[in-house]
Amino acid sequence: MVVIVLLLTAEKLLIDKDINIQRRIDMDLLSRSMNGTVVYAVMLPMVFWPFDFYLLQPMLSTVFALSMLLISILRGFHKLLTKQLYRYSANLWRNLFFFLSLCHAATLSTFFVFSIYDERFTPIIHVTMLAIGGISSGAVVALIPRIKFCLINLSVLLIPSIVAGVIINDKFPYEGMLTLYFGFIAMIGVRSSEEYIRSFKIELKLDEQKSELERQGKIDALTNIYNRGYFNIELEKQWEYASRLKLRLSLLLIDVDHFKSINDNHGHLLGDACLVHIAKIINQVGKRETDLAARFGGEEFVLLILENEGDDAAKIAEVLRHKIENSPFQVDGKSFPVTVSIGVASIQPSHKIDSRQLIEYADIALYKAKHQGRNLVIVHTN
């Protein structure tokens, strides 16, 4: 019992607070249990038919078989409506799953009690005992993702037969055998659940590592904003999106003024600090969800802006230029002033225009800003 309590505590710690993890466990639970749902629909007729039990006890046969079939049909509908139910309420979906599963377990449990202790079921006693073993072990395997419910389901399946064996004196051997089997299969369930949780944690860790690798693949290592490769991908996506919705797409191409002199006079480490400082300010200015700040290469940065007219992009560029001019970066207690030149271009994307045209226009504007004295914003005019 101590092991079971510890395991339930481990399960609670694993799944209580993460909705996405709960959903994954629930969907795994549903997938693992559906084979059993189909088997339950046809199992009792298969037990009754070879022994002509349906002829000896037509009423009992009909009641049990139809009960199992009806519950299986309801569980089938539950599965079909999973997407809608789960979106509406995960707890409602989960409670319906538990309720229908326990209905199956209670029906089978009643059948097991009758089969073992009611003389009318004597012709099928041996096949029933085989069914008890198969169904109990199958239920444990299917419900491992939720070990607490797994043990409740197992208890509903077997404990009524064990209690009936205690009450009926001449059936004590059956009670003893079922008690041993219950303890054995419960321990297997606990052990399997430990392995399931362990493998689940490993899978989550691998997912986290994969996400981190993906993040590193699109983040510039120095400035911690997006890199050129990710910018190229997002430019194409936003180009297609803006083309469909007839939106404008603007690009700010930003170059740090006299950056070579900063490196030559103060060293590359201070130059790196300068780039980190500039990237942080660009990220602060490009704060909308659709804005994309990235390091374009060397001392050049880009800010991609969706759904802005050209004059709006120019205003954003001027805000950025002014903020950088008035925010010297600090290294070892010393302040170092820095300015940027910015080229701005805006286009109404179309399938007839290559997305690289936007970069070319912004580059032309940046060239003019640098050759007109730097620390300027120049907007390209088509």
Q: Which residues contact 232 (CB under 8 A, 6 or more apart)?
A: none
* Residue 299 annotated in active site: yes
Helix, strand or coil for residue 332? coil
Catalytic residue among 11, 175, 299, 300: 299
Map tokens 């790196």 to a residue: 272
Strands 334-336 and 329-331: antiparallel
Q: Are 153 and 100 spatial neighbours (Cβ–Cβ below 8 Å)? A: no
Q: Are 341 and 255 spatial neighbours (Cβ–Cβ below 8 Å)? A: yes
Cα 174 to Cα 161: distance, rounded to the nearest angstrom? 9
Dihedral, CA of residue 170, residue 173, residue 178 and residue 183, to nearest 10: 130
Query: Sign of the CA dihedral 307, 310, 312, 317?
Result: positive
Q: Are 303 and 285 spatial neighbours (Cβ–Cβ below 8 Å)? A: yes
Which DSSP letter does residue 221 get?
Answer: T
CA atoms within 13 A on the CB side of 273: 17
Cα 308 to Cα 247: distance, rounded to the nearest angstrom? 8
Active site residues: 299
